[in-house]
Each structure stands twice: as structure tokens, then as C-alpha cells.
Amino acid sequence: MHKELLKAIFILSIVKETQHIPVCCIPARRLLTYSMKQFVDTSELIWAVKTTKPGNIKCQYDEKRLISENYIIYNTTFFQGRQRYSIRLRGDFDPEAPNRMLVSTLDMVPFSVETLLYETHNNSCGVVKMEILTGERATQYDLRVRDASVRFRLLRSCSRRFHRVAGHGRCIYSSECRHLKKWENECIMVNLII
């Protein structure tokens, strides 16, 4: 008890002595602002490795088609069973919040607001919050990883951050996904030849 009282007095005396120091001289903790544009601006596929989305989709990836200063056009592709679905979407970057974009269909029907909550220093993976604007509004989370990094062990920081914000989630990526993508590319090549 006596030690605790001494600690409190010591801390209060330090606070009293430093009150005259201008705020500009105390180093502030740097707030990280992530950039959605930087994260999606890649020629690599971006795989959703874990998600909180309901349903039984698997092997979901985003593929950039076109990017400008203000928006990105990309395809989101996923599989349900052996059936492949691909949707072309537009993401408008929020000038007020660089970590956010409004996702809509190409005819500008709003679909979701995506916020990049975390990304690694090299943009290899990130945690994305999706606020769905259609049907029953919901909030979902994805752990997304660039193609070059998906084959390696996930960075622990990405997994931890995903579990911290999502609480749970299920894996929708496996080694089978690369085979499905390769098979899809071969089918496209055959169609081009025919």
C-alpha cells in the first residue's frame, strides 16, 4: 500500500513538472492512415483468404482492370461448388478517407463501402471491413492477400488484426484455388482458339 502511494505521488510530481512543456515538444503517436488505392493498385490477384461472409463461396479474388486517380474498375470472381461467378465492379476512392472506397456496379448502383482497417508495410495483405448497402444491410470482414504472398505463411500481424476486428471467420482459400484459376485460364485460352 505504501509503495503504491509513493508511485502515485512520484507520477503526479512528474506530471506537475511537465505541465509547462508546450504540447508541440511532446512527440505525438503517429496515426497510421492506410491507402485503399495503394492496396488495390497491383497487377497481382488479391485473394480473400478468410471472411465472415455467409454462404459457401470459395476461392474469391479481385483482379484490377483499370485504375485512375479517383476510381478502380475490377472483377470480383468466386466459386460456389464448381460454378464460377465474376462481377465487374467500380470502386470510388474517398478523398476524405484514403482507406475507404464506395463500391458500386458499373451502372453506379451502390453495393458496399469498403474500409481498409489494416495493411502490412509492403501491401501484401490487409483487413477490409465491408458495409453492405443492398438487401439486409450487414457488416462483413475479409482478410485479403496479394497473389505473390498467398502461397507463403500469412503474416501473423494480418491474422491477429483480422481476429481482433472480426472475432471469427472461415478460410475460403486453399491450394485448390490456384488450380481452379489455372483451369479457368486454360478454358479461356481454348475459347479464344476455337
In degrees, to the nearest 5, what angle opens at C-alpha 56 toward C-alphas 50 and 61? Answer: 50
- Using pLDDT thresholds of 50, 70 and 90, give the confidence band for residue 182: low
- Using pLDDT thresholds of 50, 70 and 90, give the confidence band for residue 33: confident
Percentage of residues in the chain having pLDDT higher than 70: 74
Read off the pLDDT of each residue in 23-42 and give the average, rounded to a whole number.
Answer: 74
Alpha helices in 55-152 (DSSP H): 147-150
pLDDT greater than 50 at residue 5? no
Read off the pLDDT of each residue in 105-125 and give the average, rounded to a whole number.
Answer: 95
Backbone angles phi, psi at 96, to 5 degrees: -80, -30
The per-residue pLDDT for range 36-88, each reduced to its tens digit, is 999 999 999 999 999 999 999 999 999 999 999 999 999 999 999 889 999 99
pTM above 0.85, yes or no: no
Distance CA 158, CA 31 (A): 18
Which domains does the chain carry?
36-193 (2.40.128.20)
Label the pairing between strands 125-132 and 46-51.
unpaired
Tell me how far the alpha carbon of residue 152 is from its chain's centroid.
18
The per-residue pLDDT for range 12-22, each reduced to its tens digit, is 454 445 455 44
Query: CA end-to-end span of the chain, whole Å?
Result: 85
In three-state secondary structure terms, 51 is: strand
pLDDT greater than 80 at residue 11? no
Average pLDDT, the chain: 83
pLDDT greater than 70 at residue 152? no
Q: Which three cell numbers stand for residue 187?
A: 478454358
